[in-house]
Amino acid sequence: MNIAIMCSGGDAAGMNPAIKSFVDNCLHKDIIPYFIYDGFEGLIDGNIKKAFFEDVVGITHLGGTIIRTSRSSRFYEPKQREMAYENLKKNDIKKIIILAGDGSFKGLDIFCKEYDISFIGIPTTIDNDIYGTDYCLGVDTSLNVIKNALDDIRDTSSSFQRAFVVEVMGRECGYLALVTALTSGAEICIIPEIDFDLDSIEKRLQKEIDNGRGYILAVVAEGTNQTNNIKTWLEENLKKDVRTLVLGHVQRGGNPSVFDRLMGTSFVTQSIDKLILEEHLNSIITYKNSQFDFVDIKTITHNVYTIKPDLLKLVEHLTK
């Protein structure tokens, strides 16, 4: 049996531990592992190579992905997907593990319905916004990167008695902002999922300033598009000296956390075992309520992820 692994969409710490686990598990079980380099672009271009132990030695601690990733508009074209299939056929590959988000899952699902290919998707995105799973590979490392940045910013913020507005990633999902605001002791958290009340926040913070507060830390999710507005509001209404920081793509990189390394290994191991047992399978492995499960692709792509109400409740006091 030949099985290939690929990455698609945004990179995330935890991909390399998953890739190493893939090769180690396959070779241990007499399966021939293949790498598809450069995501769907590499699939179309035939950048597919057999993988060996030496390819994955010493990669567990590395961020990013050694087989690289991409976003591909070409894969939407039927002719390009036909080329991709021919490239798989040349290598006798009928089963794929993909580390990606739901957009890539949808693309591969279309492909596998057209051709005799099976796949399992491993939810991999720092945004942690895939329906049906509590955890996506890479989010834990990203949370720690943001946490470290916020801790450092608080040091300089308190020294100068300034306000800092820090924008974090997450697209339309406020998970990263919510968790890091809570765990870093921020004074303000602005996320798409909760309406914020600046009048209430002003009353709360002004009272604290009158009682000795010198600095303020605001965490803003990029999907709100409120970073500049919050900066201006802090300057004009609370008369603070304000700095803004957009953390940007630094949140994608870094040394994978212990949890992301462990989960990358667990996701891949269970996915390989499932592909061995099932003749034809197009599904996503999920981690919910501390349990692994395999969910039909339609369940994942036809529903929208929402943050758990209990988490939202924890951050409400920072929004008003």
| Cβ burial, residue 127 (10 Å; 0-12/13-18/19+) | buried
Distances (CA, A) of 164 to 54, 75, 171, 210, 235: 46, 42, 21, 19, 11
Q: How far does the chain reach from its first CA to its final CA, in angstroms?
A: 57
Question: Which residues share a beta bridge with 95?
Answer: 3, 118
Query: CA-to-CA distance for 110 and 247, rounded, in angstroms?
Result: 35
E strands, 39-173, are: 48-50, 95-100, 118-123, 163-168
Query: For this structure, is 127 an active site residue?
Result: yes
Q: How far apart are CA 223 and CA 229, in angstroms?
A: 13
**Of the listed 127, 129, 140, 260, which one is catalytic?**
127
Which residues participate in catalysis according to the annotation? 127
